[in-house]
Structure 1
């Protein structure tokens, strides 16, 4: 795949970049290893000052980098600005809290007295050079939510970004250099996917993190496993949005629209399957469909646009195949279901709602990465839980109910990394983020995320 900026609103190739050659990659690895040898010994105060400086620079660049993201992958400009601002917030959060999150842990004296120790503690040390393989859908946020905790823990990073967002990728490498990080602490590798295995197998790389598709996750996990290297994977999602009779239906429906089309529908944690109790199904379906149909599809650089193009031509084709398969097998199109008239250039697709989904349809089990929602009618709580779990994925979930007993049941039984009650899934630096089943393993963000790439060292001192 070429490394190029292709405007998804027009299909025009704006810039192309040559991938790094073997010698250049080796130099980056050498620079990273050299940087880690010194950076690992820095204190939290020094790391915090550097990360706060990077946050200040990003805040000053907010409008420019937002425009770059929109041109490269098509998200509405307002959403791109919000993404950049969220990155600033996360950087400052980790700059403030990393030291306490990685403080030594000491068991009670009574618990270890019989081990013959006078003092015992668990100490967190950085692992080393971490390779980050990142996707295009949140080209700034996905990287920062790895980089901020990793750097604050004393690790260094190598970024292999998606090949269709090279300018955002280069900006990130330059940002940390401008902030004053020692050379080699964070580097962007402009390489294709065929070069990832060799980098991951290199002895100077200690671990890897990947956000992306299930096939990409399998490939990275397989290589890392053969090298016995730590990985964190955040893969696909087909998140349920469950609506029960006690819910505020008007608010649930309006939130559902946002939850489905955020980032033009190209988000792992976007709600995708809308599972509605029969008692309120008709009202929810009417409100939700009306909200989806009212969205403005158009140029993502225009402030009035709600939904921009899909990021790639292949992505739109994949989405069309899922919709066509469902319709061909009997699904009803409540709105959308086609390329919008008047948008002959670019990779646009109408916000779409499908009903009457059956298990023989591909869309029942595959992730829809675009503004397409599926509606399911269920008879009761048991059926809602069963339908929500009827997926190979388990990233997050949304439940709408004012019945506390139902909340307890959903929290206990939903197979997901998160349960969001009367709201939509969103990531926050203080909250752990990740999934189960084929949505991956490990956690990002919060204290759990910063500890993923640390060596938890037991320190035991003998009693005198």
Structure 2
């Protein structure tokens, strides 16, 4: 590991320009999912620590908001360079505390860096607009202004990428920023904040608080926080949305998902199967853009199912640090047991196992589970309706394309969906009729680039403005309208 990282036995906060080691509050243990070995432990950040960070952020905001925007983005350029220089070490940190493969970790970091690149364009993105002679002898101008201290509460499944959905935009628009990462993966976030501080942001502009639910609630309720960004499960997203709104804050809360693949009769089945397996089992199924349900037209169902099983059965399941690994472990033993309970439920409800991940050739240590595929699943089954967040794929048979569209759109979630087809008419209907925020045709994962916002609808999102792209400019700023008339024209 690079010598800029902190010792693994110490998880620290970063408050007002200095490292702090919490010594009170609940103790959180962090272990390697691939080995079960404990990596580190740390104490929860108390309300006093939250108040100290918010105060430091508010003090920093007073001068940071008045810093010329061209100067504000200079540390971002340096931050991007540092992220690229350290991406291999960051990736290794991600693998050891999360479990995903090295390739997945590297890809995650690359997607995060894309957001830093987009945020470097803030000088043009923040321009509000001007209208001459909006009324007789009156010109009007919209001016974007930052709002203060923002916080982001980020999940374990993308500990490097998701913080970078928020941090670059918040500070580039002139706000101070506090990151509260998942207590399961604190070391990656710590690495990111160390690099951000090294990049040259003033004390208090970028801060880090570690902790769990109590720390989150303290941030949500603190009067000095202008807004909260959250990514996680739907129940917690809904709670944060309601609580933050109650306390007068801006809030964007991204929840869970149950995304569907639709395989039309005209699809290239080899390609569709490869993409479906990649989507369903990448990150061990622990991602909101996974497609854990495949709705397949009856004419090609059997052929598609055979290809999917063959593709998944050849996956290499090992420690993510191995260069040939296709799938790593689940984040914790508690989560693994929860995924196993869903497999039991699928069997109890009449599902047929085409591939049983419990019988895979798995490492003797760690929280591993192989890819699991159910066939001919009832559309009303629990494993179709509820988010499992693990390597479980359900295949649902549809009578025809009309029926397939109907089944895809029944979900309570609306994060993403993918269609495999060779017909433009199918794609047009899919685009107009499926109620999801991220849609893809002939691509297994509907992941938008950083200059587009990351959508989500129904139970997958609570709020008005999404992560990434132009939505972030609107979220982190407000417009003041400046009306100007000069009575003396001499």
Alignment TM class, shorter chain as reference: over 0.9
Gaps of at least 5 residues in structure 2 are 1-25
How many angstroms apart in 2 are the aligned matches of 1:293 and 1:107? 62
How many angstroms apart in 2 are the aligned matches of 1:4 and 1:186? 25
Choose from 96, 104, 126 the match for 2:128. 104
How many angstroms apart in 2 are the aligned matches of 1:59 and 1:140? 12
- Within a 5 Å distance, the mapping from 1:30-429 to structure 2 comes to 30-95=55-120, 97-106=121-130, 112-113=134-135, 116=136, 118-338=138-358, 340-359=360-379, 361-424=381-444, 425-429=446-450
TM-score, normalised via structure 1 length: 0.95
Question: Contact 1:172–1:188 (CA<8 Å) still a contact in 2?
Answer: no
Distance 1:107 1:240, change over 3 A: farther
Give CA-to-partner distance per residue, 1:259-283, whole Å, 9 cap, x none.
1112121110111110111111112
Alignment of 1:440 with 2:427, yes or no, is no
How many angstroms apart in 1 are the aligned matches of 2:126 and 2:91? 32
Tell me the CA shift for residue 20 of structure 1: 2.8
Tell me the CA shift for residue 42 of structure 1: 1.8
* 1:141 partner SS: coil
Distance 1:447 1:44, change over 3 A: same
How many angstroms apart in 2 are the aligned matches of 1:17 and 1:447? 36
Question: Contact 2:118–2:469 (CA<8 Å) still a contact in 1?
Answer: no
How many angstroms apart in 1 are the aligned matches of 2:308 and 2:270? 9
Question: Contact 1:2–1:163 (CA<8 Å) still a contact in 2?
Answer: no
Question: Contact 1:125–1:457 (CA<8 Å) still a contact in 2?
Answer: yes
How many angstroms apart in 2 are the aligned matches of 1:238 and 1:462? 54
Give CA-to-partner distance per residue, 1:40-65, whole Å, 9 cap, x none.
11222112211010111111111111
Choose from 4, 27, 30 the match for 2:52. 27
Give CA-to-partner distance per residue, 1:300-335, whole Å, 9 cap, x none.
110010000001112111111111101112101111
Please, which moves more after superposition, 448-457 or 46-55? 448-457
Gaps of at least 5 residues in structure 1 are none
Alignment of 1:12 with 2:32, yes or no, is no
Question: Contact 2:44–2:215 (CA<8 Å) still a contact in 1?
Answer: no
Tell me the CA shift for residue 402 of structure 1: 2.5
How many angstroms apart in 2 are the aligned matches of 1:92 and 1:4? 34
Number of residue pairs aligned between Structure 1 and Structure 2: 459
How many angstroms apart in 1 are the aligned matches of 2:263 and 2:140? 49
Give CA-to-partner distance per residue, 1:7-27, whole Å, 9 cap, x none.
001111111112234433322
How many angstroms apart in 2 are the aligned matches of 1:265 and 1:451? 32
Give CA-to-partner distance per residue, 1:202-221, whole Å, 9 cap, x none.
11101101000112112211
2:14 match? none
TM-score, normalised via structure 2 length: 0.90
* 1:419 partner SS: strand
Tell me the CA shift for residue 133 of structure 1: 0.7
Question: Contact 1:44–1:99 (CA<8 Å) still a contact in 2?
Answer: yes
Give CA-to-partner distance per residue, 1:191-246, whole Å, 9 cap, x none.
22123222221111011010001121122112112112110011111111111122
1:451 match? 474
How many angstroms apart in 1 are the aligned matches of 2:284 and 2:189? 21
How many angstroms apart in 2 are the aligned matches of 1:226 and 1:249? 49
Tell me the CA shift for residue 360 of structure 1: 5.1
How many angstroms apart in 1 are the aligned matches of 2:294 and 2:398? 10
How many angstroms apart in 1 are the aligned matches of 2:108 and 2:346? 33
Question: Contact 2:112–2:162 (CA<8 Å) still a contact in 1?
Answer: no
How many angstroms apart in 2 are the aligned matches of 1:199 and 1:452? 18
Tell me the CA shift for residue 107 of structure 1: 5.2
How many angstroms apart in 2 are the aligned matches of 1:163 and 1:129? 22
How many angstroms apart in 1 are the aligned matches of 2:442 and 2:130? 38
Q: CA RMSD in A?
A: 1.7
After the TM superposition, which segments of 4 or more aligned residues of structure 1 sit over 4 Å from their partners? none
How many angstroms apart in 2 are the aligned matches of 1:279 and 1:67? 44
Question: Contact 1:293–1:336 (CA<8 Å) still a contact in 2?
Answer: no
Question: Contact 2:132–2:140 (CA<8 Å) still a contact in 1?
Answer: no
Question: Contact 1:77–1:302 (CA<8 Å) still a contact in 2?
Answer: yes
Tell me the CA shift for residue 359 of structure 1: 4.8
2:19 match? none
Question: Contact 1:176–1:186 (CA<8 Å) still a contact in 2?
Answer: yes
Question: Contact 1:249–1:284 (CA<8 Å) still a contact in 2?
Answer: yes
How many angstroms apart in 2 are the aligned matches of 1:422 and 1:265? 20
